[in-house]
Structure 1
Amino acid sequence: MIASPLVTGDGQLVSIGDIHFNEELAAPQAYGVMRFSHTSDALRGLVRDVRDRAARNSLPLTGFMDISGRSGHSRIGLDVRLTGDAPEVSDGARTVDIPVAVTALNAVLAEMLADLRSLCHDGGVDFGRLFIARGPSFPRRDIEEAREGGRLLLPERHRITEDGVVELPLLDLRYVLSARLLGVGRNFAEMVVKGKHGLGIFQSLSPAGLPDRLAAKEFLVGAVHISLGPFVAFIERETSAPGVFHLASRLLDGIRTTGMAAPRQVELYNGGEEAVDTRGLSVRLRLYPPDARLAKLAERVLAPGRARQVLAAGADVADLIDIFTPEASRVFFDEITSDPALGGIYGRIFMPGKMISIPWEQEEGSWLQEFQWRLVYEYARGNIPEGVLEGEEIPKRLRPVLDDLKYVGGEQKLSKVFVSDALPPVDTLRVLKRNGIGVVAARGMGCTVGQACPVPHFRMDQTLYEELVRLENEGMRFYLLLELGGQAQVREFYKGLWVTRPGKARLPGIHTTMAMFGSACDVLGPVLEGPIHEFLRRLRDHPCLGDGLAVAHGSGPGVMRTVDDAAAALGVYRIGVGINAEEIGQITNFAPEAVAQFTNLAMNTRQDILDRRSLFKVFNLGGFGTSYEVNMALTFMKIGQCLPAPYIFVDPVGLGPDGAPFWHESLMQFRTLSGDLAGGGHDLGPLGPRWIVNLCHEVKSYEEGYAVIAGFLDDPAGYWRDRDIPLAKVRQARDNLRHAGMPIPPYIDEALEGA
C-alpha cells in the first residue's frame, strides 16, 4: 500500500548525559532523550505498534522509524540518531520519549557537546522530527512519470535505481564555518536555538569549491540540486560510498523543497578508514506520497501549465498566500495601527506555526522612536518571550497563513514576514535580514507619528531606495498595500520598481524603454492626445519592439498622463517614476504597472532611474522640469550611463520665438558648447563631445520622430556610423548598463557583434 509517512513537529532534547568518545567515529558522543510533547493518540499508538513490532521480530528500530535532525545542527556537525533502545510512551503525560545518541562530528567545534549540555539544562532545545514510513516508497516507474510530467525536477546528472532510490551527485560547492565567530559570546547558543536561520553569519561558501577527496574522519557540508512537487523525500543515511554517511537532517518537504537554483545542503561524514573521491560521491533518497494537506496545497500551487515553472523558481510566498490580493494582504495588518494613540500594535512577525506581536514603545503618551527600533531588533533575535503566540494561542483567522508559510520554497528565506504600517529605517531592515526575516510588508513609507496623515506617504529618499535595491538583490521581498481613492492594490519591490502582479510577470520581457518627458499642464492634453497615441501604436507594432516595449514618465498629469492613457489603451507597459509633486498640487498617478515615487531631495536618483532604464528619450513640450531632464539625459549619455540612441525633441505646434520649434534654442546652446570655442585670445576647443549633439533630433511631428526611431531600429550600426558615434562609447555604455542590471535590447547586441 502506498501511504504517506507520519512526520511529527520538532521534538526537544530534554536531557543529555556524560560525554564519552566513540572510537569508531573518532568523535565525542553523548546519550540523551528527545521528547515529543502534546502528542496525539494516533502518534502514540503508532509508536507503540512500531516499537513492539520491531521487538517481536528482533529487527532494528530504524527499520520502522527514524529521526530527521534540524538542518542548522547538521550543518555544524551535530548528528543525532536512534540508539535502538525502546521509546517510552505516556498516555497520561501525552509524551513520547526517544533515546538518542548525539555526536559532534566537526573537529572545528571542540566544545560543542559541552555547550549543548548547558543549553539542555536551561530548557529543552528543538532537535528533530520523527519520521515513520507507513508504506513503501515510490517505485522507479512512478518517479520517472513524475519527472516527465513536470512534478519533480532532477539535475541533469542523476540516477534512479530499480527499487526507486534516487541518487544525486554533489555539486562543486562546499560550505565552511567560522569557528572564531561561533566562539564569540552566545553565538553558538543562538545558532542551536534558531537552527539554519541563526547560521547565516557563521557559514559561507568556500571559494575553493568541493575538495577532490574527503579524508577519513572528516566532516563536509556540500550541496545537491532537486525540486520536489507533491512528494516527501527522505535521504538515506548511507551514501554511494561505503563508510560515508549523511547526518541527521534527512527530511525534504514537498513544495518547500522547490527551486532548482537553490543548493540543498547535505552534511556528510567519512566514518571509514580511507579517503573517498568526492567527484563520484552521491546522496541517496526515496520519495513518499504527501499527506492530504500537502496534496491539496500542491493542487493549488502546482496548477497545470505552471507546475514546472514553480518547481524551477521555487514556491513563492505570493503563490502560497496570494499576497497580491488586497483581501489576503489585509490579514497581515490585523490590529496594526499607524499611531499608538489609535490603539493596536506597532507590527508583527509571522513565521511557520508562530507569530510575534510587537507593541508600540512609548512613555507618557510619547512615542520613543529609537527604542521602537531596538525593540524590533530584540524581537527579531528571539530575545523577548512576551507577545509570542503558538498553537492554540494563535487566532483562528491567522492560522492558515502561518501553516502555508511552512511551504515557502527556494532557499526558504521568505518564510518569515515582518509587517508594520510603515517601513522601518534601513538599519532595522538590515537587522531583520540578518535574523532570517525575508519578507517585509507595509502600507506606506511612513507618516510622522502623532500628526494627521490623511494620505499615506509612498515616497522614498535616496538612502531607502538604494537599501531596498540592495536587499532585494540579496533575496528579500518587500510588499506595499496601497489603498487610494477607495481602491486597493498590492505591489512588490522588484528590480528597483514597485510592481503589480501582472507588472512583475511582464517586466522580465521588457527590453526597450522609451522615456517620455513633458509638461504637467493639462492644457496640452487635447493637442497631443491623438498624435501620441498613434506614435506609440506604430512603435508597438515595430517588429523589433512589440511586447518588449515600455514607456516611462514622471507619474504626473498633463503630457505624462496623456502618455500613460495612450500606453494603457495600447497594452504598452508603463513605468511611472515621480517626485513629491503633491506639494505643488499635482496628483500622483498610481495606474502604471511599475512605479517609484521619491522625495524632492532624491530628484537625481529619480532621474537616474528614468535615464538608465530608457533607450530612447522623447522631450515633449515642457517647462523647467523638462529642461532639467534634457540636461541630465545628455549628461548621462556623456558619462557612459545611457546607450547612444535617438533623443527626440518634438514640437507639433511651433511654440518657439516667431513660430520656431520649441526646443531649437536649447539645442543651439548644446551645439555651441560642443563646437570649437575661442575668445579673448583663448582657443578652448569643445566643452563636450560633438557626437552627443548628433543624437538630438528636432522634429515637428510625432510621425517624424517615429521615422527617426524606426531608422535606428532597422540599422543601429548604420545610425552610429552616419552620426560619428564611436563604437567604443556604445560598448562602454552597454557594459555599464548590463553591470547595473539594466536590460540590453537584442538588436543592440546584434549590431555591436556585426559592427
Structure 2
Amino acid sequence: MLASPLVTGDGQLVNVGEVHFNEELAAPQALGVMRFSHTSDALRGLVRDLRDRAARDSLPLQRFMEISGRSGHSRIGLDVRLTGEPPEVSDSQRTVDARVALTALNAVLAESLADLRCLCDAGGVDFGRLFIPRGPALGRDEIEEALDRGWLLLPERHRIDADGVMEIPLLNMRYVLSSRLLGVGRNFAEMLVKGKHGLTIFQSLSPAGLPPTLAAKEFLVGAMHIALGPFVALIERQTSSPDVFHLASRLLDGVRTTGITTPRQVELYNGGEEAVPTEGLAVRLRLYPADVRLAGLVERVLPPGRARNVLAAGVDFADLTGVFDPAVARGLLDEITAGPDEGGSYGRIFMPGRMLAIPWEQEEGVWLQEFQWRLVYEYARGNIPEGVLVGEEIPKRLRPFLEGLRYVGGEQDLSKVFVAEALPPVDTLRVLKRNGIGVVAARGMGCAVGEHCRLPHFRMDQTLYEELVRLENEGMRFYLLLEYNGHAQVREFFRGLWVTRQGKERLPRVHTTMAMFGSSCDVLGPVLEAPITEFLRKLRDHPRLGEGFAVAHGSGPGVMQTVDNAAAALGIYRMGVGINAEEIGQKTNFEPEAVAQFTNLAMNTRQDILDRRSVFKVFNLGGYGTSYEVNMALTFMKIGQCLPAPYIFVDPVGLGPGGEPFWRQTLNQFRTLSSDLSGGGHDLGPLGPRWIVNCCHEVTSYEQGYDVIAAFLDDPAAYWRQREIPLEKVRQARDNLHRAGMPIPPCIDEALGEEA
C-alpha cells in the first residue's frame, strides 16, 4: 500500500545571515535557519532517523526531505533550499531547525534579502513546509486509474512517463510585478508576511503572454492547469530543460488544487548561460497519496458521479464548510452582537488554523463607526496582534470549520472569512477584498444610524448592490443568516440575487423568466388564483421551457403572493425582488429560492433587475405601483435593455370603464404617443417607436395570454416580422443583456440565426 508523505505546517525563518553573491546563479544569497515549532514526537523522530541515515550512507539530505516554500515568496523570486547540513532536533524544545539557503532570483527586488533579514530580527516569518516522502510516488498505472475515476484532471497536452513523472507544459501566461508599488512604504514587508494574499495589488497578468525565450539568469512566473483530488503533488526542481529549475513553492495540496481552468502559478529561473525557448517548456510533477484525514474529506466533497464535475469547477466553500446549514452560520456569529452595549465582539476573521476577534470600538462610551471601520482595516491587514487565537486557544466547536478552510479549491481565495452582525460599508468591503478576505457572512445589511433595526434587516441601496455584484464577479462570496417567524435560512449572493442552496443549484439552468406584476391587495387573490395556476402550469409544460422557466415578482402580498404560491406548488423557480414595503404596511415574502430586497429609494434598481431578467412581462390587475412598472418596462425595451417580446396586459374581470378591459386606456395612451402627432400648426410625428406598442397584448383571460407567449416561443422570428420589430433592435437588446450577464433563451439565438 502506498504511504502518504508527511507534510508539516509552516516553519518560521528565525535567522538570516549576511548576504553574499552566488556566482553560479548570478544572484544574492544568504544562509538562514527555518524553525518548526511545537512538533510531534513522530516528526522529530523521523527527521532524526533520516538525518542519521543520510550521514551514515553519505547521501544528500535532499534525498529524504525537501523544503516547499510559500507561493507568495516564490512568485516574487525568493527561493529557499535545504543546504544539506544536518537539521537540529530538540525534544525539550519540541523544535526542528533546518539550515536553508535563501536566494533572491528576481532582479526587480534587489534589496529583498536585506529587508527579509530585518523582518526576521523583528520576529519570525512563515516561510515554508517540510515535505518528507514515506513511500514511493504513484506510478503511471495508478495515475491513469485516477484520471479514469475523475479524481485527477490534466490538460490535454501532458505526458506521463513509465516512472509516473507527469510533464505539463506552460500556458501562454506570464505574471509581472509592479516594482514601483512594492517600493512604497511597508508594501514589500506586508507581502512577505501575507504571502500570495499580499500580492493581489502588486502582481498581474501581462497582456503580452509568455516571451519566446527565457533569457539566461532570468526569472519568470508562468502558469499551468491541473486539478487534484485525494493526492498531493510535488513539482520536481528540474524542468524539461536542464538549465531551468522551479523555485521552492513546489507542493500542490490535494482537494484545494481543484478547478482545472484555474491557472496554477509556476516560478522558474534559467540558471544556464543561454536563453531557453518557452515553447514546449514543461514542469515535471510526482503524485503521492493523501493522508487519511484528506481521504475522508474526499468522500464528502467528491462523491461518485459528481467527482469529475466538482474537480473541474473547484471544491466550493459551502460544500467544505456547510455554511448553508443555519446551525453552522450561527456558530460563526455566536459571540457577535448587534451593538456595543450588548457585549461580545463586533466581528471575527477566520482563516486556516487561526481566528481574530474584532472588538467594538468606543470612545467615552460612544460607538464611533469610522473608528470601527478603521479597526477592521488594521485587523484585515494583520497589524493588530490582540485577539488572535491559534491552536488550543480556538474553541473546539470552530476547529472543524477552520480546518475545512484549508481545502477550498478554485482560486483558493475563499479561505479567509469575515463575519459581523451586518455587512460593513462598501469601502470596508473593498479593503477586505484587497487584503485577501474572500468570504463575508452576516445577519443582514445593517441599519441607518439611530434606526431601530428589526431582523431580517435585508434592505440594500443601489451603491451596496452594485458593489456586491462587482465583488462577486471578482470572486468574493457573501452569505446572510436570515431568522424570522421561527424560520432560519442561509442565502448566498449569487448572480445578483440572494439564493438558497437549492436556488443556487437551479439558477444556472434558468434561461427564460416571466415577470408578474400586480396589485398588493389581497382581495384579488380568490379571483385570480385558479387561472394564474393553470397559466403557469401550461408555461412550465411548454417544451421550450421546462426547468429553464422561472417566475419573478415583487415579493409582496396580493397578486404577487398568489403568483408565488402557484409557482411553488408547481415547482417553478421563483425570484422575489422587492422594496421596503413594510413602511406602508406590506409584509415581505422571503420564501422564493432567489430574492433581493431594496430600500424604497432604490426602486429603479429593483425595477432594472425585474425587467432585464425577464423576457415576458404580465401586467395583472394593479394600481399605482403596477402603472409605474408598465412605464418602466416599456422604456427598458425602447432603450435596448429588454428583448422585444410579448408584454401581456390581462383583465379577466372587466374592471375598466363600462366593463372594458382594465388596461385599455393605458394602452391607448401609448398608441397615441407612438402615432403621428400634430397640433397648433405643428407636425411633431411620433414621440416613441410604434413597434414598442406592437409588443403590448390586451387579453381578457390568462389562456389568451398563454397563446400569445406560446406562439412567440414556437417562432420568435415570425412574431418580430408580424409586429414590424426591426431585427437590429432585437440583436442590440440581446447583446446588451448578454454583456450584462443575463441568460438568453435558446429560441432567441436560434431565431436570430435563422434570420441572419
Gaps of 5+ in 1: none
Q: Which residue is 1:569 aligned to?
A: 569
Deviates more, 1:198-207 or 1:360-369: 360-369
Q: Distance in 2 between matches of 1:91 and 1:183?
A: 42
Q: Which residue is 1:507 aligned to?
A: 507
Q: What amino acid is the match of 2:228?
A: L
Q: Distance in 2 between matches of 1:709 and 1:404?
A: 48
Question: Is the partner of 2:336 in helix, strand or coil?
Answer: coil
Q: Distance in 2 between matches of 1:612 and 1:131?
A: 53
Q: Distance in 1 between matches of 2:589 and 2:366?
A: 35
Q: Distance in 1 between matches of 2:479 and 2:231?
A: 30
Encode CA deviations 1:423-457: one digit per residue, 9 max, x unaligned: 00000000000000000000000135676433331
Question: Is the partner of 2:17 in helix, strand or coil?
Answer: strand
Q: Which residue is 1:687 aligned to?
A: 687
CA contact 1:447–1:456 (8 Å) conserved in 2: no
Q: Which residue is 2:437 aligned to?
A: 437
Cα shift at 1:215: 0.8
Q: Which residue is 1:667 aligned to?
A: 667
Question: Is the partner of 1:280 in helix, strand or coil?
Answer: coil
CA contact 1:339–1:449 (8 Å) conserved in 2: no
Instruction: Give yes or no for the alignment of 1:392 onto 2:392.
Output: yes
Question: Is the partner of 1:18 in helix, strand or coil?
Answer: coil
Q: RMSD of the TM alignment (CA)?
A: 0.8
The 5 A counterparts of 1:472-511 are: 472-511=472-511
CA contact 1:447–1:453 (8 Å) conserved in 2: yes
Encode CA deviations 1:19-50: one digit per residue, 9 max, x unaligned: 11111111111111111111111111000001
Q: Which residue is 1:265 aligned to?
A: 265
Instruction: Give yes or no for the alignment of 1:163 onto 2:163.
Output: yes
Q: What amino acid is the match of 1:716?
A: P
Encode CA deviations 1:684-704: one digit per residue, 9 max, x unaligned: 000000110000000000000
CA contact 2:160–2:166 (8 Å) conserved in 1: yes
Q: Which residue is 2:64 aligned to?
A: 64
Instruction: Give yes or no for the alignment of 1:428 onto 2:428.
Output: yes
The 5 A counterparts of 1:601-620 are: 601-620=601-620
Deviates more, 1:87-96 or 1:671-680: 87-96
Question: Is the partner of 1:81 in helix, strand or coil?
Answer: strand
Question: Is the partner of 2:81 in helix, strand or coil?
Answer: strand
CA contact 1:139–1:163 (8 Å) conserved in 2: yes
Q: Distance in 1 between matches of 2:608 and 2:450?
A: 34
Question: Is the partner of 1:318 in helix, strand or coil?
Answer: helix
TM-score in terms of structure 1 length: 0.99
Identity percentage of aligned residues = 81
Gaps of 5+ in 2: none
Question: Is the partner of 1:29 in helix, strand or coil?
Answer: strand
Instruction: Give yes or no for the alignment of 1:239 onto 2:215.
Output: no
Question: Is the partner of 1:403 in helix, strand or coil?
Answer: helix
Q: Distance in 2 between matches of 1:277 and 1:453?
A: 63
Q: Which residue is 1:332 aligned to?
A: 332
CA contact 2:455–2:482 (8 Å) conserved in 1: no
Question: Is the partner of 1:2 in helix, strand or coil?
Answer: coil
TM-score in terms of structure 2 length: 0.99
Q: Distance in 1 between matches of 2:336 and 2:619?
A: 44
Q: Distance in 1 between matches of 2:22 and 2:364?
A: 60
Encode CA deviations 1:56-82: one digit per residue, 9 max, x unaligned: 111111000000000000000000001
Q: Which residue is 1:2 aligned to?
A: 2
Cα shift at 1:154: 0.7
Encode CA deviations 1:294-347: one digit per residue, 9 max, x unaligned: 111111111112211111111111010111111111111020011111111100
Q: Distance in 1 between matches of 2:452 and 2:214?
A: 65
The 5 A counterparts of 1:441-460 are: 441-448=441-448, 452-460=452-460
Q: Distance in 1 between matches of 2:179 and 2:62?
A: 33
Encode CA deviations 1:522-573: one digit per residue, 9 max, x unaligned: 0000100000000001111111111100000000000000000110111110
Instruction: Give yes or no for the alignment of 1:745 onto 2:734.
Output: no
CA contact 2:618–2:647 (8 Å) conserved in 1: yes
CA contact 1:338–1:449 (8 Å) conserved in 2: no
Evaluate the alpha carbon distance shift between residue 339 and residue 674 of structure 1 in structure 2; reply closer, same or farther with a 3 A threshold: same
Q: Distance in 1 between matches of 2:127 and 2:522?
A: 66
Q: Which residue is 1:716 aligned to?
A: 716
CA contact 2:517–2:560 (8 Å) conserved in 1: yes
The 5 A counterparts of 1:194-593 are: 194-448=194-448, 452-593=452-593
Encode CA deviations 1:197-249: one digit per residue, 9 max, x unaligned: 00110000000001111111100000000000000111110001111000000
CA contact 1:140–1:161 (8 Å) conserved in 2: yes
Question: Is the partner of 2:130 in helix, strand or coil?
Answer: strand
CA contact 2:4–2:134 (8 Å) conserved in 1: yes
Question: Is the partner of 1:136 in helix, strand or coil?
Answer: coil
Q: Distance in 1 between matches of 2:330 and 2:572?
A: 30
CA contact 1:446–1:456 (8 Å) conserved in 2: no
Q: What amino acid is the match of 1:358?
A: I
Cα shift at 1:103: 0.3
Q: What amino acid is the match of 2:478?
A: F
Question: Is the partner of 1:415 in helix, strand or coil?
Answer: coil
Q: Which residue is 1:148 aligned to?
A: 148
Q: Which residue is 1:624 aligned to?
A: 624
CA contact 1:151–1:308 (8 Å) conserved in 2: yes
Q: Distance in 1 between matches of 2:602 and 2:319?
A: 34
Question: Is the partner of 2:80 in helix, strand or coil?
Answer: strand
CA contact 1:14–1:123 (8 Å) conserved in 2: yes
Q: What amino acid is the match of 2:733?
A: A
Q: Distance in 1 between matches of 2:334 and 2:239?
A: 48
Q: What amino acid is the match of 1:741?
A: G
Q: What amino acid is the match of 1:546?
A: G
Q: Which residue is 1:103 aligned to?
A: 103
Q: Distance in 2 between matches of 1:93 and 1:551?
A: 65
Q: What amino acid is the match of 2:46?
A: L
Q: Which residue is 2:639 aligned to?
A: 639
Q: Distance in 1 between matches of 2:449 and 2:215?
A: 60
Evaluate the alpha carbon distance shift between residue 623 and residue 450 of structure 1 in structure 2; reply closer, same or farther with a 3 A threshold: closer
Q: Which residue is 2:707 aligned to?
A: 707
CA contact 2:455–2:483 (8 Å) conserved in 1: no
Encode CA deviations 1:263-312: one digit per residue, 9 max, x unaligned: 00000000011111111111011111111111111111111122111111
Q: What amino acid is the match of 2:247?
A: L
CA contact 2:224–2:265 (8 Å) conserved in 1: yes
Question: Is the partner of 2:341 in helix, strand or coil?
Answer: helix
Q: Distance in 2 between matches of 1:610 and 1:447?
A: 25
Q: Which residue is 1:34 aligned to?
A: 34
Question: Is the partner of 2:299 in helix, strand or coil?
Answer: helix
Question: Is the partner of 1:189 in helix, strand or coil?
Answer: helix
Q: Distance in 2 between matches of 1:659 and 1:555?
A: 30
Q: What amino acid is the match of 2:714?
A: D
Q: What amino acid is the match of 1:578?
A: G
CA contact 2:444–2:455 (8 Å) conserved in 1: no
CA contact 2:446–2:453 (8 Å) conserved in 1: no
Q: Which residue is 1:114 aligned to?
A: 114
Q: Distance in 1 between matches of 2:332 and 2:309?
A: 27
Deviates more, 1:357-366 or 1:494-503: 357-366
Question: Is the partner of 2:328 in helix, strand or coil?
Answer: helix
CA contact 1:21–1:29 (8 Å) conserved in 2: yes
Q: Which residue is 2:46 aligned to?
A: 46
